[in-house]
Structure 1
């Protein structure tokens, strides 16, 4: 066997069963079922002894993961994510465009979180889990829970509108300076506030706007649908566009720029902002967040 990874357990408040603790500590085993398989195949050692499902971890243990020499036991996902904030409860990461947040695909943000985030030392630590959605073509800030209690509390914050999200988009066509959009989506109430920050003349699109967006509800494709409905689709949107005004090859000009909320465990204000992508500032030169 070949040594694949080594992990030193940090001090825990309470001892925890190894198969629970091990979820997320190895880059190549992101799931609890994967840990169980590795234990069964005798590929994990704790302080030099074979790991068992009944073993408890309290801190300081040397945990080694081996892989079989004649078989590739686990497929490694190489996905480097930018981490803007992280503690024992939650994290804020930057999601690139063109990657699913979660789903049945192998390459998803959810599957790449364990290799990019530190294992929580809380007794209810779980595999890191995205708290909300960002569309496949959208880039920007994504909130992640690292314990079962934080996932629950952050979910409640979203439900109770305790998390403020701000987006920036480049839209096509003349717009009002600011306003509210309240068209229902899938027969459910949906609200978005917008403000036009800058406007430029475009030879092909006539008018392009840099728009600040604050969704007050969280419907699927809400911002894209709302802007398309008022006649100002987002530049590069391949699903909601006007005939003859589709921009190919540049991606969607929608950026989840900031998250603001009260940390549910430290009670401190959390505010993080990510600067506009270069493709935005190429069109709106000199604009900075």
Structure 2
């Protein structure tokens, strides 16, 4: 392995887990998920010893970050992406339904970014990285960081809840015109507000609703779990569904339609929207 970065731990009040402390200390890996993966792969050493995610950091410790010396020059994933916004710091792209954002698979948005985005001219330019996730069956807008500083800044905006996301879903059954869902997920607070835009009768599902969703937190499968919890699962959901109310072959009717935030560097107000997919418009042609 090749050593690429070193960090000396200065004054800290109480011991803290490595995977928490190391977020943001390395330019090469600025995200929490990236640090966790590096630790698990044995690329992080503390005081010369390979670290674990359970290790606590103390004042005076020395943390080294390594990378594999084996070059990974496998086939590149050539997958054209629709780019809705791009500058030297960040980009917003459209993720189609039915593709992973990242992971161990070859066919991911993460692997396609370098083919679609222009390399930043800034000195801390890095490989473009998604700074949040969308489920495999969900379509919509995805925010990408193109520099180390940008990735850190965008993650901080998400942590401070300063990035507003809006989704549309088609939900099954009779619904209130609007409401709020405050239902914990994995023992963590989770909050979603919703607004029913239009309702139509359905011979098979009784009612179908075009619903606008405003998640205030970002738990895994939050919108899908929340709507299922109030008895109005999303059409096409194969994990959270009512008996005899499963639609097969059309995918999940959940779409991340807009992103709104203040650009962390230019301070410009960024509002990006993406129209509803065709399968939504077949049921709700007015939209």
For the criterion TM > 0.5, the same-fold answer is yes
1:234 maps to what in 2? Answer: 234
The separation in 1 between residues aligned to 2:71 and 2:273, in whole angstroms, is 40
The separation in 1 between residues aligned to 2:70 and 2:118, in whole angstroms, is 21
Shift of 1:36: 7.5
The separation in 2 between residues aligned to 1:283 and 1:254, in whole angstroms, is 14
The separation in 1 between residues aligned to 2:143 and 2:74, in whole angstroms, is 27
Shift of 1:77: 1.3
1:137 maps to what in 2? Answer: 137
Partner SS, residue 165 of structure 1: strand
Q: Provide, for residues 225-256 of structure 1, a one-character-per-residue CA deviation record: whole Å limited to 9, x for no partner.
A: 00000000000000000010000000000000
Closer, same or farther: CA 283–35 of 1 in aligned 2, 3 Å: farther
2:224 maps to what in 1? Answer: 224
Partner SS, residue 211 of structure 2: strand
Partner SS, residue 234 of structure 1: coil
2:110 maps to what in 1? Answer: 110
The separation in 2 between residues aligned to 1:247 and 1:37, in whole angstroms, is 45
1:158 maps to what in 2? Answer: 158
8 Å CA contact 2:76, 2:112 repeated in 1? no
Moved more, 159-168 or 74-83: 74-83
Shift of 1:74: 3.4
Q: TM-score, normalised by structure 2?
A: 0.75
The separation in 2 between residues aligned to 1:276 and 1:201, in whole angstroms, is 20
The separation in 2 between residues aligned to 1:140 and 1:285, in whole angstroms, is 19
The separation in 1 between residues aligned to 2:76 and 2:259, in whole angstroms, is 31
1:63 maps to what in 2? Answer: none
Partner SS, residue 227 of structure 2: helix
Shift of 1:286: 1.4
The separation in 2 between residues aligned to 1:214 and 1:76, in whole angstroms, is 36
8 Å CA contact 2:169, 2:212 repeated in 1? yes
The separation in 1 between residues aligned to 2:190 and 2:169, in whole angstroms, is 18
Please list, as runs of the form range in 1=range in 2, the aligned pairs for 1:1-289 lying within 5 A after superposition.
Answer: 37=71, 74-287=74-287
Structure of greater Rg: 1
The separation in 1 between residues aligned to 2:129 and 2:186, in whole angstroms, is 26
Partner SS, residue 78 of structure 2: coil
Structure 1: runs of 5+ lacking an equivalent? 1-19, 21-32, 39-72
Partner SS, residue 236 of structure 1: coil
The separation in 2 between residues aligned to 1:241 and 1:209, in whole angstroms, is 15
Runs of 4+ in structure 1 deviating by more than 6 angstroms, as ranges, are 33-36
Shift of 1:130: 0.3
RMSD: 1.7
